[in-house]
Amino acid sequence: MTRPGTTKNLRARRCVAAGAAALILGAAGTGTAYADDIPGGTTKPPTEEPSGGGADKNGNLSAGVSSIKLSYPSGGDGGGKQGNLAPIDPNWEPPACWYEPAFTSAELKKFVDTDGGGDVGIHESWFGKELWTDHYRDGKPADNFDLHKPTNSSADGYKDYNEGKDGRFWRGVAPDSSDPKSWDCGRIMFWVPDGEIPDDPNAPTPEMLAEYAYDKVKVPDTEVELKPEAKSTVNLPTWVWLDKGTFKEVKVRAELPNTPLWAETTAKPKSLHLEPGTPDAETFPASGECEINDDGSIGTPYTKGKSKQDPPCGIKYLRATNGKPYQLKASVTWEISWEGSQGTGDDLPDGTFETTQDMNVQEIQSINR
């Protein structure tokens, strides 16, 4: 696609804008999308919105959502405090953009040939029908069109929106249009027969859906259980554990409607890392990395009579707090894997989720527990 500053004729610019303005209709059923016309003859792809697209109360278009459908076969049910994972690999990031099905031929024809989209909140004054439909309706060629040629190549248009043919017009989607990589999905809408995936580097794949699902994984808040609770004693260990009932695997399934593509991304708790919040402390084990137990729990709850034992997972503070609590950081590492359509599957980078808790430490050398 063309970057800002490149000169193209007005009709080509309007055609590109129209392509990025594709609606998600029919099975997609999630709202509308558009991209601002950028000087120089191109547009960024629509930006995904998690809360849904559509027209606002003034009839203006918002950015459209992806049609990818998410479900949570396990975990991620919204119970309690939750948050997104931070990938351990600083270079890993979810897909910047991709293409997905939008209009059928009948839907595009209806959108253009009735009232310019007024039934879905688009006024004809936004994109006059005579300005951007030539290559979809009358078979006239359009730039940035042919998937089998270099970017900005020209291809013959479609006669009567390919009416009577089985397939859909596809559009680009970008979660964050400020990401320069989102420009990679700037082609205008193009036709793909049913059952086929377009020949483009940014065509959807099971792995792309798995990476998309990774970004949607919600894990429980990492607030560890302590004994004694939120108040430790100098030179006596504080036992730390996480209950297996809270920290169970989370699975997110992503499906792309009108394609055979799907993927399930699974996050499993792997270990707990403790940072006492002061150098005047010891961790158990010394690395501060508490491995997950066979039953899915982390650490061991304190029981009476273990006050002088070293816990399998815990902290010993060597200096008392003085009016200001230490900030105990607890982060759970989650192991990420995926499986998808066509027998695909692999691992993705581990992710972490961290919380901070206040820890007060008192200057008492012994305590009855």
CB 317 within 8 A of CB 359: yes
Q: Token match 């593509």: residue?
A: 261
Distances, alpha carbon 59 to alpha carbons 50, 53, 62, 150, 212, in Å? 20, 12, 9, 37, 30
d(CA 242, CA 238): 14
- What predicted TM-score, i.e. pTM, was given to this entire model? 0.77
Decide: 174 and 96 in contact? Cβ < 8 Å: yes
For 296, left (φ over 0), alpha (ψ -120 to 50), or beta? Answer: left
User: Contact 315/330 with Cβ under 8 angstroms?
Assistant: no
The owner of tokens 């158990």 is 284
Q: Which of 74, 43, 79 minimizes the C-alpha distance to 61?
A: 43
SS3 state at 250: strand
- Rounded Cα–Cα distance for residues 302 and 46 (Å): 53
Could you list the mean pLDDT of each consecutive 10-residue stretch along the chain, which spans 369 residues?
30 32 29 28 45 30 66 74 89 93 89 56 34 79 84 87 94 86 87 92 96 93 75 88 80 96 95 95 96 86 81 94 93 95 97 91 66
Q: Which of 169, 170, 176 is nearest to 49 (CA)?
A: 176
Q: For tokens 């065509």, what's the residue?
A: 203
Output the pLDDT for position 159.
92
